[in-house]
Amino acid sequence: MARDPGLLAECQELVHTLRRHATLASLRGDPDWPALDRRLRAVLSTIRPLSPEREAPPPRDPERVRAVHWNIEHGNWYPRVEQAFRSHPELINPDLVSLNETDLGMARAANRDVAFDLAAALGLHGAWAPLFLETTHGRDDDAKEAAGLGNQESLFGLAILSRWPIREARIVELGSTQQLQFDTEGMYGRHIALAATIERPRAPFVFVTVHLDVHRTRANRAQQMRRLTEALGGESRPLILAGDFNSHTFDRGRVWNAIEAALVLSALPGGVVRRRLLWPDLHPAHEPRFDALRDAELEWERYIDRKPTLRLRFSRVPEVRGTVGAIAARILSWAEQRGQLRLDWFAGRGWSEGRGATVSGLDGPGLASDHAPLVAEFW
């Protein structure tokens, strides 16, 4: 699929304008804001369809739907992601793929169209939608990975890939911490879910991928999930939901939130810490977003195990960097060793059976992503 030169030019013009404003308040105070708002909405509401030039091999089992969910860390390590889908026994020949953190034209991922490249490599249909327009190279190690290149489209989104044709793809807007993300990270946009009808022969169903906000409180993330389940409330077909729920069980946004989390992770017995982080749906400090799923009659237990999908790194927590002394740094280091988080999930409704697992060996520094992929079957 050829890149759209009109989209590239529009994104670059918008990024140039956004960079003139240090804060969201300043941006919205721009005399041209009404026109800018319309242009930004147009870019961020466009779903890009992906069509394969060749068909994927036949499914392993036509009676079951085999799905993969993976937060691929923007596609910074794209060749390793593609190789995993080509060679890892648990990832080869999927029927469905949910991708979070999927770049279009970001230098940190070699300015790839990550979703299209993977769809083309696997022979899958696809749909990609943007969450944010980026004005910087990104965060953490992203500038290093950019290797001096400039961004092209500067878009960061999520995608659905499917063996079967996709129709009725739509964006569900979930709200976001727009001021925080623009003022501190240079990102303009919002969190979304991408929902689509999958035209499986004789048995169509709905597939949804979502990436919830990591920055705010558990209550904020629960509100996002309720917006999604309300948008799906009238759906009678079988449903699969996959995504990075950011279910770390802590509130975020202030320095003392991070210190409190570090004290919990470092001071409580190891078994208590593991229970909290790997059972965020059941622990007393549980994430209420799971209440929203339960109220919507979505179940998840059969589709997951209780293994971690991300290992905590406080160096990636902006409210901590540059604010702690030597003693606190030692506490944070100890807490990191125990901070193995269950952030990624599958859930379903309308399926009689299912199972799922976390795939090990592909996540961590120097590997395909900071997140582990998940696999699940629905039948």
| Domains located in the chain, CATH noted | 5-247+287-307+342-378 (3.60.10.10)
The listed range with the strongest mean pLDDT (14-23, 45-54, 267-276) is 14-23
The partner residues of 97 in beta bridges, in order of sequence, read 68, 161
Residue 325 has pLDDT above 60, yes or no: no
pLDDT in tens, 226-242: 999 999 999 999 999 99
Q: Which residue has the higher pLDDT, 297 or 262?
A: 297
Q: Contacts from 274-280 at CB under 8 Å and sequence distance 24+?
A: 274/338, 274/340, 276/249, 277/248, 277/249, 277/308, 277/339, 277/340, 277/341, 277/342, 278/306, 278/307, 278/308, 278/340, 278/342, 279/306, 279/342, 280/247, 280/248, 280/249, 280/342
- Give how far the C-alpha of residue 13 lies from the chain's centroid of Cα atoms, to the nearest Å: 26
Residue 2 has pLDDT above 90, yes or no: no
105: left (phi over 0), alpha (psi -120 to 50) or beta: left
What pLDDT sits at residue 100?
A: 98
What pLDDT sits at residue 353?
A: 96
Residue 327 has pLDDT above 50, yes or no: no
Which of 55-59, 119-123, 194-198, 327-331 has the lowest average pLDDT?
327-331
* pLDDT band at 295; cut points 50, 70, 90: very high
Q: Which residue has the higher pLDDT, 217 or 325?
A: 217
